[in-house]
Amino acid sequence: MFFSLIDNRMRHSHPFKRQKYHFFYSNGKAHSLKLYFCAVKKTNPFSNLIELHGNCLFVSDAHFRTPPDAASEEREERLIQLLECQGADFRHLFLLGDIFDYWFEYRDVVPKGYFSLFTCLKKLHEKGVQIHYFTGNHDMWVEDYFTQAFGAVIYREAQLMEINGHRCFTGHGDGLGGKQRKYLLIKRIFNNRFNWWLYGLLHPRQSFSISRFCSEKSRNSHDESMLQFQGEKEFQVQYARELLEITNVDHFIFAHRHVLVRYELTPECTFFNTGDWLEHFSYVTFNEGDAEPELHTH
Ligand SMILES: [Mn+2]
């Protein structure tokens, strides 16, 4: 009775209602639940389709350390070189998450360092480049500092966008697809506003020490086999296939996995991962007039 009520609501208010209803029942995962609540609230998660025009550059996973060490400063310099030499050509810069190994901003305090990078981003902003900052699992605590400093638009979830007439689904890509209950639970705890506020009560010296310890631990626990792209076993690929069942997407552009890859999902739809700015020094461009995004290494 309750579900048929929802079904009726969806039938009258959504362009993809029937498919979504089916999606909820056939999957029953966290993101399906989200679609279900969207249905209850009569909102469409794809209704605020953002339209962008112009050349786009996607870069992710630089994991700049807090405070920056020599290696981190070198990577920062390399990223600035890329942004400066490509600067005149692109209109949108996508920072696809985990740019910082740890980012937590207090009302009056931000992590020190990154001065050259921020100056470069400010210059780009002044030239008219729009910066899109997608938070990753290491920098989910971004608040409004980047927005105030260089007008960045902050996205906390992956987003469907129309880029130069192509439907692109992009975001950091962590926690999407597969059975990642434990990961999603941890993410939810970290992302909870009340916990966020509680953590902010700690003195920066304490909170930054805790974060460094956790970052180090997660770095050491990485599975060697995951260094390679796993094809259909990839959670992001599985998620992309699930999403393709309910809506049209031309290109998926994710990060997080630190693998630079172009993978054909269907003849009409391609999956990309930006790699990283740690070892691959890779990035993705999607220029006006291009049929699909392109992978590069610096
Ligand atoms: Mn990540």
State both tokens at 174.
């962590």
Environment class of residue 56 by beta-carbon count within 10 Å: exposed (0-12), middle (13-18) or buried (19+)? Answer: buried
Please give the Cα distance from 187 to 39 (Å, whole number).
Answer: 24
Residue 100 CA, ligand 1 centroid: distance in Å: 10
- Note the helical H segments in 63-107: 70-86
Instruction: Give the C-alpha distances (Å, rounded to integers) separating 248 from 24, 160, 243.
Output: 18, 10, 8
Residue 246 CA, ligand 1 centroid: distance in Å: 26
Task: For residue 208, give the H/E element and its range.
Answer: helix 204-220
Q: How many CA atoms lie within 13 A of 222 on its CB side?
A: 11
Please give the Cα distance from 186 to 189 (Å, whole number).
Answer: 5
What's residue 49's pLDDT?
84
123 within 8 A of 139, measured Cβ to Cβ? no
The CATH homologous superfamily of the domain defined by 54-177+224-297? Metallo-dependent phosphatases (3.60.21.10)
Residue 214 CA, ligand 1 centroid: distance in Å: 14
Residue 135 CA, ligand 1 centroid: distance in Å: 9
Q: What is the pLDDT of residues 221-270, one digit of tens each?
A: 666 667 889 999 999 999 999 999 988 999 999 999 999 999 999 999 99
Ion ligand 1 residue ranges (Cβ < 5 Å): 98, 136-137, 174, 256
End-to-end CA distance of the chain: 57
Residues 6+ apart with CB under 8 A from 217: none
Q: What is the pTM of this model?
A: 0.83
What's residue 11's pLDDT?
39
Question: What DSSP character marks residue 175?
Answer: T
Domain spans, the chain: 1-48, 54-177+224-297
What's residue 48's pLDDT?
73
pLDDT < 70 positions in the chain: 1-47, 221-225
